A = this chain, B = another copy of it.
C-alpha cells in the first residue's frame, strides 16, 4: 500500500511551481495563486527565468537554483520544455511531479514520442508523475488545491479520479451548490506514469474517502483495474461513467487524452465484474457518489417515501421499483401512527402523501420518526419540504395585506429540521431528500450543510437510493476469486504449437476444449469413407458430417456440412458430396445433439484488456438479438454465474416451457475454463463456440472456431 506514489504526491510539504508568472491571465499563474490561497501550509517555490518574485514569493531562475529538492514539482510550461525540466528535477532529487502541460500523445505521433521521452526520464530517476495534460490535484484535508478553481468545502467525503480535468475544476462550484464535498480529487490526464489504477487504489486506501467517483475515457490496465476495483467495491462504493463507447465518443476521447476507447459492452462487463455502479451522466456520478459517500449503507430493499404531492411520490416510487427497490405498503400499525399527522383524505400507505399541509413538522419530524423507528423500511426518501424558499416567493403577494416584515414572514414557516439532519446516522438507515427549491430555501440549505443528499429531482432521489441498493448487492455478493493455481492441461501446448495456420480446424479446436474440461460433441476425424462409417456406427446415428479444414471458414454456406445423417447410405452420399467439393481435407464425423436450446460463448480482445469472455444466446439468434454478457479472464465461478443471470433471455436457462433447467454450474465451469485457455495461449486472439447446445440441461459445444 505504502508503495503507492500518490500517498506522497497528495501530501507534499514543499512544492516547486514552474510556469507561474505575474501575468494573471495565464493558467499557470492562476493555478499557483489558487494553490497559495488554498490553505496549503508547506513551502511553495516558484521557478521563473526572469522574475525576481512570482505572486509575492521569491522566484528561482533555474530548477538547479532551488535551495533543496522539493517533495513535488508542478509543471505548467510549453510542451517542449517539459522533458528537460523533469530531468532537472530528477537530478535535484525530487521524486514526484504533476505535469499540467498538454500537447503529448493526445496530439499525435510527435506528442507520443515526447510522452515516451518523459516516461524514460522519470524511470531513469525513479520519479512518478501525475499527467501530463491534466489540471492537477486536490486534497481537501491537507489542504492543497492547484486547479484553477477554488475549493469551498474542506474535509469532504467523495474521492474523485477523472480523465477529464473539467470534472475536478469547472464542476467545483456546481458540487458546492449541491452540498457535495470532496475528499481528494485527481485529474489523471494522459495517465502516463500514474494511471487510473493507481488512483483507484489510493482512494480505496484513503480513510477520508467514503465513496469513489470515476470518470473514465479508457483504461490501459483493465486486468489490474478489475483486481483493485473488486477488492475495494466489496467495502467501499465506486461509481463510474464511461463515455468512449460510441463513434463520436471515441473520436472525442482520442483528441482529449489520447486514450483508445473500447466498445461499451466490454466496459459494461468490466464494471459489473468489478462491482462498480455505472452512471450515465457526470451529474449522476456525483449525485449517486454523494448519496453513497454521505449516507449509512442501505441494508435491504424496502424504501419508505414521504411527500406532500402525488406527482413526485409516484415518480420516486416508480424509479425505486424500476431499479429493484421495494416500496412496501406499511403495516396497519405504522399507517395508524402516520395517520395522526396527515389530513383525512391523504394516503398513509407508502408513499405517504401529505397533500398541501401548512404544518411542516409532520414532514420534518413526526412522520420521519415513525418511519425510521418502524422495522419495516431500510431507507427513506422525503420530497416536498417547502420552507423559506416558498415564503420568499409569497412575500410580495402577502406583504400588501399582512403588515409583516420579510424576516418575520419567513419565520412563519421555517421548518425545524434538527431532528432530520442526524436521523439517518442515528438509525443507520439512509435518508435522501428531493426539493424543487434551491439555495434560497432554509431547509435545503440546512440539509446540504448537514450532508443529507438533496436533489432537485424526485427521480434522482430514487435513482440515488437505487445506487445504495446496488452497493448493498455488491457487498453481499459471493466474493470468490479466480483460481490462479490451475495448471495448463498436459499436451495442449504441443497441440497449439502444432497449428501453423491462422485458424484452427474444428477437430483440433474441440480437442483443446476437451483438454480444458469443456464438453463437446463426440467426434472423430476420417480420411476415408470406411473410417467415417466406422466412426458413425460407434458414435451412433444420426451423425453430422463436416469438412474439417483450417482454410474453410464458412463451411455451412459452402454446403460442406451435412446434419442428421441417419444411416450408412446417407453417410456415403454426404461423404462423397464433401469430397467432390474438397478432395483433400479431413472429414469430421460428429454426434448429432438433440438439444432444446442454443447458447454461445466466445473470447476476444479489446485494447488494454485481458481476454474478454462472452456468453449469450446462440444459434441463429446470435446477431439478431445480441443478448450476451462479457467478463474478463480470469473468471471466478460467480463471475460466470452472473453472466448468465444478467442475460435478457435468462428465463431460457430455467425450467422454461417444460424444458429441464440448464445446469448453470456446468456452464460456469466451461466459461471459467475458456478464460484459462485464453490466458494460457495469448496467441489465440479469438474463440467462437456457437452453438453450445443444451441437452437434458447439460451444455455441449457443437461447433468451435479458434483464430490466432
Contact = CB atoms under 8 A, between A and B. Distances in A.
B255 A353 contact: yes
A460 B281 CA distance: 8
A245 to B, nearest CB: 7
A148 to B, nearest CB: 7
A327 B249 CA distance: 9
A394 B248 contact: no
Contacts of A370: none
A401 B55 contact: yes
A564 to B, nearest CB: 13
A396 B150 contact: yes
A642 interface: no
A317 B252 contact: yes
A257 B310 contact: yes
Contacts of A456: 174, 283
Interface in A147-198: 148-150, 162-167, 170-174, 177
A551 interface: no
Interface in A39-85: 55-56, 79
Interface stretch (A24-32, A227-235, A525-533): A24-32
B24 A402 contact: yes
A458 interface: yes
A312 B255 CA distance: 13
B318 A248 contact: yes
A318 B173 contact: no
B625 A457 contact: no
A173 B256 contact: no
A171 B345 contact: no
B649 A314 contact: no
Interface in A633-686: 648-649, 651-652, 656-658
A253 B347 CA distance: 11
A322 interface: yes
Contacts of A305: 252
A265 interface: no
B164 A312 contact: yes
Interface stretch (A270-278, A565-573, A616-624): A616-624
A7 interface: no
Contacts of A315: 241, 243, 281-282
Interface in A256-295: 256-257, 280-283
A700 interface: no
Interface residues of A, number: 112
A604 interface: no
A177 B456 CA distance: 12
B345 A79 contact: yes
A103 B356 CA distance: 13
Interface in A89-126: 102-103, 106-107, 111
Interface string A381-424: 00010100110011011100110000000000000000000000
A228 B215 CA distance: 44
Nearest to A310: B256
Contacts of A438: 173-174, 177
A459 interface: yes
Contacts of A500: none
Contact of A459 (B281, B351, B394, B649): B281
B349 A255 contact: yes
Nearest to A390: B149
A442 B524 CA distance: 78
A356 B248 contact: no
A246 B310 contact: no
A106 B345 contact: yes
A369 interface: no
29 contacts: A24-B402, A25-B358, A55-B401, A150-B396, A164-B309, A164-B311, A165-B310, A166-B308, A171-B436, A173-B390, A177-B438, A217-B314, A243-B314, A245-B318, A246-B317, A246-B318, A246-B321, A248-B320, A248-B350, A251-B327, A251-B329, A253-B310, A255-B310, A256-B314, A256-B347, A281-B315, A282-B312, A282-B458, A625-B625
Given A165-B309, A170-B309, A280-B459, 12 more contacts: A164-B309, A166-B312, A170-B384, A173-B389, A215-B311, A249-B317, A252-B314, A253-B314, A255-B310, A282-B457, A282-B459, A625-B649
4 closest A-B pairs by CB: A164-B311, A256-B310, A249-B318, A246-B321
